[in-house]
Each structure stands twice: as C-alpha cells, then as structure tokens.
Amino acid sequence: MYRTIAAVMVAATLASTAGAQTALPPGIPAANPSSQAADAFSLENALAAGGMPSAPSAAARNGAASGPEGNNPAPLPSVAAATAGVGAATAARRVAGLRPNPELQAQVENVAGTGVYKGLRSSETTVGVALPLELGGKRPARVALATARLTRAQVQAEIARADLRLRITQLYIEAAAAERRAEVLSEQAGIANNAFRVSSERVKAGDVGPIEQQRADVLRINAQVAADSAARQAQAARANLETLLAVQVTGPLDRAWFERIDGYGPPRPIDVEGTLALAAAEADVRTADAQVRVARSLRVPDLTVSTFARRLEATNDTAAVVGISIPIPFFNNGSAFVAQSRSEQTQAIALRNLAVVDTRQQIASAQTEVANAAATARAAGGPGLAAAQEAARIARIGWSQGKFDQIALLDAERTLSQTRQTYVDALAAYHDAQARLDRLTTPAPTISGDDR
C-alpha cells in the first residue's frame, strides 16, 4: 500500500514541478508569456532611457517611461562629455579664424629733463596704431587645424554614443541572462525539494534505505543555495542596469528578444573604411597634416605695421611717424617644430594603418564568436534540450515505478539543468558577440568640414 502511494506521489509531484515554474525569490519578476510582449522592459526601452537617438520611437511603442512627456532624457555623462568636447572644438575653430588685434600705442618723450627739456616745454607726444600682419598663410592653416580637431571631436562623440549603446546592451544581456539562470536554478531547487519529500516517503514505506533520503537532502540544500545565489546575481545585474540608466527597471525583461537568434551564414565581408575606428584614425591623420601646415606657416615671420601722429610741444607742430617691424628668426627659425609635426604625421599614418589591421581582426573574431554562439544556442535549446527533457521525464517515471535507482534520476535532472544553463550562457554569448560586432561595424557619420 505504501509503495503504491509513494509511486503515485513521485509521478504527480515531479511531473508537475517539471512542467510548472517554481516561484522565484523576491526581486525577480516571474515570467508570464501572455504578458511578455506588452509589459516587458525591452532593450529599446533601455536604449531610450540612455538617450540613444534611434530608441525613442521604439520606447513610445512599448510604453516605456523615460522622463517627462515630450522631453528627451538627459544625456549620460560619457555622451555629455563628448558633446561638450564638440562644443569646445567648435568655439576653438571660431577663435582660430580671428585676426590679430591692433594695438593702440602712446608715448611721451623729452619730459622731466633739465634745461630746455625741463617739464613739458620740449616734450614730443606720439599716439598711433600698430597692426600685426600674418604672413605665410597662418590664419588658413590655423583654421584648417581647428577644423580637423572639430571633426575628430565629432567622431569621438559618435564613438562615445556607440560605446554607451554597447554598454547598455551588455548590461541588459547580463541582467536578462542572470534572470533566466535564476529561473532555471529555482526550478531545479523545487525539483530537488520535492525529490527529498518523496525520498522521505519511500524511506518510511521501506522501499529504500535512509542513504537515499540523506543524498536527496544534500542535493536539496545545494540546489537551494545555488538558486539563492543566482537570485542575488540577478538582482545585482538589474541594479547595475538601473544605475547606468538612472531609471527604475520595472517588469520582466524581454525574454522573446533574449531567446531569438537571427539567421546566420558565412560571414559577409565588411568594409572597415566606413567604421568609426577608421574614421577616428583618418581624423587623426588629417589633424597631423594640418599641424604640419601650421608649422610651416610659422616659419614665415609676421610684419607689424604702425602709423603714429607726433606733436612737438616746442613748436606746436604735428608730424607723422610710420614704422614697420619684423622679427629676426635667429634662435628659433621653426624648423624644429616642423620636424616634430612631421614625425607626428608619420606616427598618425602608421596608427591609421594599424587600425585597419586591428579592426579587420576584431570584426573577423566577433563574426566567428557570433556564429559559434548561435550554433551552440540552437543545439542546446533545440535537440539538446529536448533530449535532456525526455531523459528526465523517463527517469522520473522509471524511478517512481522502481525501475531506476536514485542515481539515474539525479543524473538526468543534473543533465537537464546543465543543458538549460548552457542554453542561457550560449544565448548571452551570442547577444554579447552580436553587440560587439555591431559596435565594431557602426558606420561613421558624414561630417562636412571647411578648411578655409
């Protein structure tokens, strides 16, 4: 009689536990497939909260709260710093286009002397204006350098936005994966807890020895510890996402997006010339070229033309005074600065060529990681997971009927749990690799410069 009751209890409790989701610890929202699409905090919501330009429309469709209605969220510090850099470079370009200011000069001679020069009787007062004249194309060269630096600042602002998008995406992936792991381990803890209760009943019925109950108790404790640890990690991952976005992340994360694997095939060749990394390197080369131009222009001395009106106190007459001054490049003729600028130009060109090689290698590695992670996720979430679930189902039935021992059941349950975790890890790796690939292949903005 006891054996029959125990067998029925095993089949009922373990089957229901495997088919239903165990309640998660506080702080981790339970998955509800019927409301996932409507209530999920999607990646688009997270990007909208982070101020990404392409995200607000998606956020509006999903009903995300990202600040007061009609207002865009304030940019995060990294983007704000890059935007301020563009503003500073824009102002520097205006400064570079300004001409030198004229000088107002005045002097009084032959005063406070002796004899006829006593007091102001023989004084000569001179008042005039001195105007520096830049030669050698200094102003156009200076404007070209400031324009190149402005272009570099604009590219850096796009890099900051792309890096922020990658950071938000990676934190979202980490949070979604952590919550999926917490769900898997919570289900495993529920199965282990029910297995312990069933083992206790079978020991009471005399079907098995006490060692089976002790083994089930150890596994129950370990499973609960793992589930609690995974729940805390999920809470921490969500808190990290909230800290970066400075908004509260409510509701479940988008499980449909996390479990979706886009079609993949042979890696397509990507032109690295249009990427942000190459745009930054090209901007550095143009800046170095403009710096050489400035250095060469500085080798040409400037002129200062002055015109004055001089009043002679003794005769009460007025005379004009015209002057011109030019520095003598005796100690510093500018050749050292030209040599320095040319060396920096050579360095910028070499770094640009290195960036081409590095970017190609990084893109190729990211494409391989995307393909490998997608293949692993498809296998673990498809035939691998189906086989593990079927093995666990058979083991539960066989154990309840006394055909399998507890070791076979525990091994099947462990395999199922590991397969589920492998599936989650592969999905996280796939999305992370895809996010890094998207970052590497982000197209550079079209920036028009004025090299006047």
* Edge-to-edge strand list for the sheet holding 103-109: 103-109, 124-133, 303-312, 317-325
DSSP 58: H
Q: Residue 233 corresponds to which amino acid?
A: Q
Closest CA to 137 of 288, 341, 294, 337: 294
Instruction: Please list the pLDDT of the chain residue by residue as tens digits (452 residues).
Output: 334 334 433 444 444 444 433 344 344 444 444 444 557 898 998 988 887 754 333 333 333 333 334 445 667 888 889 899 999 999 999 999 999 999 999 988 888 777 777 777 778 888 999 999 999 999 999 999 999 999 999 999 999 999 999 999 999 999 999 999 999 888 888 888 877 887 787 777 776 677 877 877 888 898 899 899 999 999 999 999 999 988 888 888 998 999 888 866 566 777 788 899 999 999 999 999 999 999 999 999 999 999 988 888 778 888 888 999 999 988 889 999 999 999 999 999 999 999 999 999 999 999 999 999 998 888 888 888 788 888 888 887 776 677 776 677 777 877 888 888 888 999 999 999 999 999 999 988 876 554 44
Q: How many CA atoms lie within 13 A of 400 on its CB side?
A: 21
| 162 to 259, 401, 423, 438, 445: CA distances (angstroms) | 24, 58, 28, 9, 11
Q: What is the pLDDT of residues 68-126, one digit of tens each?
A: 344 456 678 888 898 999 999 999 999 999 999 999 999 888 887 777 777 777 788 88
How many angstroms separate the CA atoms of 38 and 249, rounded?
A: 15
Q: What is the pLDDT of residues 227-253, one digit of tens each?
A: 999 999 999 999 999 999 888 888 889
Closest CA to 195 of 30, 12, 24: 12
For residue 309, the tally of other CB atoms under 10 A from its CB is: 13
Closest CA to 254 of 185, 184, 179: 179
| Helix (H), strand (E), coil (C) string for 236-302 | HHHHHHHHHHCCCCCCCECHHHHCCCCCCCCCCCCCHHHEHHHHHHHHHHHHHHHHHHHHHHCCCCC
- Residues paired with residue 124 on neighbouring β-strands, in sequence order: 109, 312
**DSSP one-letter string for 152-177:** HHHHHHHHHHHHHHHHHHHHHHHHHH
* Helix orientation angle between 276-297 and 138-205, rounded to the nearest 10 degrees: 160
Query: Tokens representing 311?
Result: 């009043």
- In CATH, what number does 2-99+134-299+334-440 get? 1.20.1600.10
pTM above 0.85, yes or no: no
Query: Tokens representing 386?
Result: 């189906």
Q: How many CA atoms lie within 13 A of 232 on its CB side?
A: 5
- In CATH, what number does 100-133+300-333 get? 2.20.200
How many angstroms separate the CA atoms of 99 and 78, rounded?
A: 35
- Residues paired with residue 109 on neighbouring β-strands, in sequence order: 124
How many angstroms separate the CA atoms of 101 and 124, rounded?
A: 26
* Helix orientation angle between 383-400 and 335-381, rounded to the nearest 10 degrees: 40
pLDDT at 171: 95
Closest CA to 422 of 390, 387, 394: 387
How many angstroms separate the CA atoms of 115 and 276, rounded?
A: 78
| 124 to 6, 50, 325: CA distances (angstroms) | 123, 70, 22
Checking DSSP bridges between strand 303-312 and strand 103-109, what pairing results, if any? Answer: unpaired
| 227 to 233, 359, 419: CA distances (angstroms) | 10, 41, 16
pLDDT at 4: 38
Q: How many CA atoms lie within 13 A of 414 on its CB side?
A: 10
10 Å CB burial of residue 119 (0-12, 13-18, 19+) is: exposed
List where CATH 2.20.200 sits in the chain. Answer: 100-133+300-333
pLDDT at 63: 36
Query: Tokens representing 91?
Result: 């102002």
pLDDT at 16: 43
How many angstroms separate the CA atoms of 94 and 117, rounded?
A: 50
Whether the Cβ atoms of residue 451 and residue 186 lie closer than 8 Å to each other: no
For residue 112, the tally of other CB atoms under 10 A from its CB is: 10
Q: Dihedral of the CA atoms 394, 400, 404, 405 (nearest 10)? A: 130
List where CATH 1.20.1600.10 sits in the chain. Answer: 2-99+134-299+334-440
